[in-house]
């Protein structure tokens, strides 16, 4: 549907006759010859030669734009057409230049659409329509072809806009699923951290109460909790694998969105054997090695969480980012204005001392107390887990 205009040879000869003595006509003639032979770069060189002797020759710019168009260099083509428009006083040549500028925008738009750069493609199609409309105003003989191209551009734009809306819905659905994964991962980190602290608490107690027989029951409970955490970690990894597979089936753009999820999944999978080793060590009552592996597993989960959440600030709307920046600046100013007196420091030291006493008291608890506390926490966690996990939907 796109009609590409080029001034015929006899038109150039007619326009260039007065300039023949300066060599412009000869260069234009050679440029047109090699253009029709398909050697568009050679044509550009010849048109440039014509412009050396006749720098204000609009036809040379016009045909130079056509040559760039044939080479697929649409931005360079538009620059040449723009110069032709600025140099000519003829409405017909200006109209044809506008028409071909519309064509160059149209072709650029198609390339962007094929590359899934939908927003860029829509903008380029809009610019093509503007140029087609200007071409019609300048040269009525172009109306039929320009109207046909405008209709085609609008049809394609409508399809691209529909694709954008559909992509936005899918992106939102994807982000919602990632949000749920983040929430589950945060729970896993919290549970693993509890296991680390419970292990440390038990080790501290046993230093002073090595003959207490009840500690073995608590170690067994720690092992069970660790294996439960590992099972939940495996379930989360399976959810992430399913989400990644769904995105890959939707194409390259959707798969790119899942890149961060895939990287986070690798870290979560690395934590799995470490959690299993920690559970085995708890079964063997090797508390300190188990604690070291629990810490390693927790740290891997934390790194995975950071990967999934590292782009949150950049994705906030600009006004929210500005509000947050203002709040941060205000808080920083308040911190600077706050007096740093000795009384406040003494109070902080006293509070820290009280906290240390509470910690020591906690470490000296009896195994029965610790076991009861762990049972209550486990019941609470199991209730949360029953209501937390759900299969990823497969309808998209």
Whole-number pLDDT of residue 385: 42
Rounded to whole angstroms, how far apart are CA atoms 374 and 380? Answer: 10
Write down the pLDDT at residue 13. Answer: 28
Alpha carbon 317 to chain centroid, angstroms: 15
What is the tens place of the pLDDT at every residue in 19-58? 222 344 688 889 999 999 999 999 999 999 999 988 889 9
345, exposed or middle or buried, with CB in 10 Å at 0-12, 13-18, 19+?
A: exposed
- Kindly compute the dihedral angle of the four CA atoms of residues 156, 162, 168, 171, in this order, to the nearest 10 degrees: -80
Give Cα 162 to chain centroid, integer Å. 20
Q: 1: Cβ–Cβ under 8 A, 6 or more apart, which residues?
A: 145, 148, 149, 152
Query: What's the rounded Cα separation, in Å, for the pair 228 and 92?
Result: 79
Q: What angle do CA 174, 175, 177 make, to 5 degrees?
A: 65
Q: What is the DSSP letter of 285?
A: T
Three-point CA angle 40, 43, 46, nearest 5°: 160
Looking at residue 38, its pLDDT comes to 93
- Check if the beta carbon of residue 243 is closer than 8 Å to that of residue 261: yes
Q: Can you give the pTM of this predicted structure?
A: 0.54
Q: Give me the count of residues in the chain.
A: 396
Cα separation of 283 and 306, whole Å? 31
CA 270, 276, 281 angle in degrees (round to 5)? 130
* Burial (CB count within 10 angstroms: exposed 0-12, middle 13-18, buried 19+), residue 103: buried
Phi–psi pair at 311, nearest 5 degrees: -100, 10
Mean pLDDT of successive 10-residue stretches along the chain, which has 396 residues: 43 29 66 92 94 90 94 95 94 93 94 91 95 94 91 93 86 88 94 93 83 78 93 94 85 69 93 95 92 95 92 43 49 49 51 49 45 55 45 34
d(CA 117, CA 370): 59
| Cα–Cα distance for residue pair 321/327, rounded to 1 Å | 10
Cα atoms found within 13 Å of the Cα of residue 192, Cβ hemisphere only: 32
236 with 394: CB under 8 angstroms?
no
What are the tens digits of pLDDT across the range 195-254? 999 999 888 888 887 666 778 888 899 999 999 999 999 999 999 999 888 888 776 666
Q: What is the dihedral of CA 261, 267, 269, 272, to 10 degrees?
A: -140
Query: Which residues, 6+ apart, have CB-to-CB distance to 278 below 8 Å?
Result: 226, 290, 291, 293, 294, 297
Report DSSP letters for 140-188, one per residue. GGGHHHHHHHHHHHHHHHHHHHHHHHHHHHHHHHHHHHHHHHHHHHHHH
Q: What is the model's pLDDT at position 270?
A: 95
Give all domains of the chain, ordered by start, each with its CATH number: 9-138 (1.25.40.10), 168-310+363-388 (no CATH)
């Amino acid at each position: 549907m796109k009609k590409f205009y080029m001034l015929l040879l006899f038109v150039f000869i007619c326009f260039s006759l007065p300039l023949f003595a300066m060599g412009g006509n000869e260069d234009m003639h050679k440029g047109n010859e090699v253009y029709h032979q398909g050697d568009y770069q050679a044509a550009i060189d010849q048109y440039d030669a014509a412009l050396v002797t006749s720098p204000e020759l609009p036809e040379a710019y016009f045909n130079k734009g056509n040559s760039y168009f044939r080479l697929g260099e649409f931005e360079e083509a538009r620059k040449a057409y723009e110069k032709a428009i600025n140099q000519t006083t003829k409405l017909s040549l200006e109209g044809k230049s506008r028409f071909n500028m519309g064509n160059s925008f149209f072709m650029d738009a198609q390339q962007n659409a094929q590359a899934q750069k939908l927003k860029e493609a829509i903008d380029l199609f809009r610019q093509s329509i503007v140029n087609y409309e200007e071409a019609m105003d300048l040269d009525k003989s172009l109306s039929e072809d320009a109207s046909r191209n405008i209709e085609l551009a609008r049809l394609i734009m409508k399809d691209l806009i529909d694709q954008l809306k559909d992509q936005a819905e899918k992106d939102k659905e994807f982000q919602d699923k990632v949000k749920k994964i983040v929430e589950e991962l945060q729970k896993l980190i919290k549970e693993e951290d509890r296991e680390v602290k419970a292990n440390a608490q038990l080790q501290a107690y046993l230093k002073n109460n090595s003959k207490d027989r009840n500690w073995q029951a608590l170690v067994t409970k720690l092992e069970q909790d660790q294996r439960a955490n590992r099972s939940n970690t495996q379930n989360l990894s399976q959810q992430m694998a399913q989400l990644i597979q769904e995105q890959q089936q939707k194409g390259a753009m959707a798969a790119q969105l899942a890149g961060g999820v895939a990287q986070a999944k690798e870290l979560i999978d690395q934590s799995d054997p470490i959690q299993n080793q920690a559970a085995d060590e708890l079964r063997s009552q090797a508390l300190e090695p188990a604690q070291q592996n629990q810490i390693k597993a927790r740290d891997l989960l934390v790194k995975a969480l950071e990967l999934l959440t590292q782009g949150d600030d950049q994705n906030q709307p600009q006004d929210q980012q500005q509000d947050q920046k203002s709040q941060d600046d205000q808080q920083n100013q308040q911190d600077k204005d706050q007096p740093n007196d000795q009384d406040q420091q003494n109070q902080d030291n006293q509070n820290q001392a009280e906290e240390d006493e509470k910690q020591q008291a906690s470490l000296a608890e009896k195994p029965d107390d610790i076991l009861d506390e762990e049972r209550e926490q486990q019941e609470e966690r199991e209730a949360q887990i029953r209501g937390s996990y759900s299969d990823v939907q497969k309808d998209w």
